[in-house]
Amino acid sequence: MSEVEPQAAPVGPVDATVVPRFAGPATFARLPRRDEVTRMDVAVVGVPFDSGVSYRPGARFGPAHVRESSRLLRPYNPAADVSPFAAQQVVDAGDIACNPFDIDAAVAAVERGADELTDAGARLLTIGGDHTIALPLLRTMARRHGPVAVVHFDAHLDTWDTYFGAPTTHGTPFRRASEEGLIDREASVHVGIRGPLYGRDDLTDDRRLGFTAVTCPEVELDGLAGAIERVHARLGDRPVYVSVDIDVLDPAHAPGTGTPEAGGLTSRELLVMLRSFASLDLVGADVVEVAPAYDHAQLTGIAASHVSYELLSAMAPRTT
C-alpha cells in the first residue's frame, strides 16, 4: 500500500506583529494569493459587477472595499472556537473580470470563473458586486451538488420576474434559480425580509418558487434563538448555499449599499446566526451589495468583512 503524502500546513495571513495591518498585501485578511500556495480549500474571489442594480450603483467597488476593511481580522475566532485559516487553506483568488455593459456576458463569465475555481474541489466565498451574481454561482453549485438549500439574507425577496423587461437583475436571481431547478424548493429560506412590497402577490409568488421567510418583524417578536431554530429546521441535512445581501443589516450598521431599508438586523444578530451554520454542509457563500461610495467610516465594509470571516469559520473543519 502506497503512503499518502501529507499535505503541507495551510499558509495563513501575514503576521500583524511583524508587518503592520496598514501595510502588506491587499488581499482579503492579508491571506496568500492563489498562485502562492500549492492547494486551496476555500477561494475568496471578488466579482466587481453592478450592472444589474435597480437603484444606487457602486457595488462594483465592493470587493476592494471589503478586502481593505478585512485588514483587522485575526486568525483565531473565539466565538466559534476555530482558527479558520489554520484549519483549511484559504486563498484570495483575485477577481472574476466581467463585462460591465452586457449582463448576459457578465453572468456567463462569472459562471465560467466559478466552475474553474471549484474544479479541484475548492469551496467559494464570493464578494460582490450586486446580487445578480448569485444566479451563475448557483448554477455552478447545482452542477457540483445538485439543487442546494439556499439561505438568503436580505431585506428583499429577489424573486421578482423582471425589471424594465430584463429577466436577469439583482432583484430576480432566486426566481431564475428556482425556475432552472438550482435550488431545493423544500428547504430554502429568506432571512431578514422587511419593508414595502409591490403587492401581496409578491409573497404568493415567493412561496410558489420554494421559499419560506423569517422576517425582521418575526425576529423581533420571536427572538434570535427562535429564528435560528426555524432556519435549521427548514434546511435539515441538505447541502447549503448562503447568500448575504449586506442590506439585510439595518442602515445604521451598513449604510453603504444600494437599496437600504429601515428596521434591519444588527451586525451582532447576523454574526450569531452565521456561527450556527458550522453544523451545516456549507458548500459555498456570497456577500454582495457593498457600495463603498455610500459608506461611512468603513461601517459597511467592516460588517461585510466580519460576515465573510464567520462564513469562512463555518466552513472550517472541526477537529473535536
DSSP conformation letters of 39-59: --SEEEEEE---TT-SS---G
Q: In what order do the strands lie in the sheet with 149-153?
A: 90-95, 42-47, 123-128, 281-288, 239-245, 149-153, 188-193, 211-215
| Count of CB atoms situated within 10 Å of the CB of 201 | 9
CB 288 within 8 A of CB 245: yes
Per-residue pLDDT reduced to its tens digit, 158-169: 999 999 999 999
First CA to last CA across the chain, in angstroms? 29
Q: Which class is 28-315 in CATH?
A: alpha beta
Confidence of residue 5 (pLDDT cuts 50, 70, 90): very low
Q: In the chain, where are the structural domains located? A: 28-315
Per-residue pLDDT reduced to its tens digit, 211-265: 999 999 999 999 999 999 999 999 999 999 999 999 999 999 999 999 999 999 9
Per-residue pLDDT reduced to its tens digit, 65-101: 999 999 999 999 999 999 999 999 999 999 999 999 9
Residue 144 cell numbers, joined: 457540483
Residue 320 is predicted with a pLDDT of 58
CB 113 within 8 A of CB 87: no
CB 131 within 8 A of CB 66: no
pTM for this entry:
0.96
Residue 3 is predicted with a pLDDT of 45
Distance between CA atoms of residues 81 and 178, nearest Å? 36
Confidence of residue 7 (pLDDT cuts 50, 70, 90): low
C-alpha dihedral sign at 212, 215, 218, 222: positive
Per-residue pLDDT reduced to its tens digit, 9-50: 999 999 999 999 999 999 999 999 999 999 999 999 999 999
Distance between CA atoms of residues 273 and 231, nearest Å? 9
Alpha-carbon dihedral angle through residues 206, 63, 168, 188, given to the nearest 10 degrees: -20
- Beta bridge partner(s), residue 153: 191, 244
CB 113 within 8 A of CB 126: no
Average pLDDT of the residues of the chain: 96
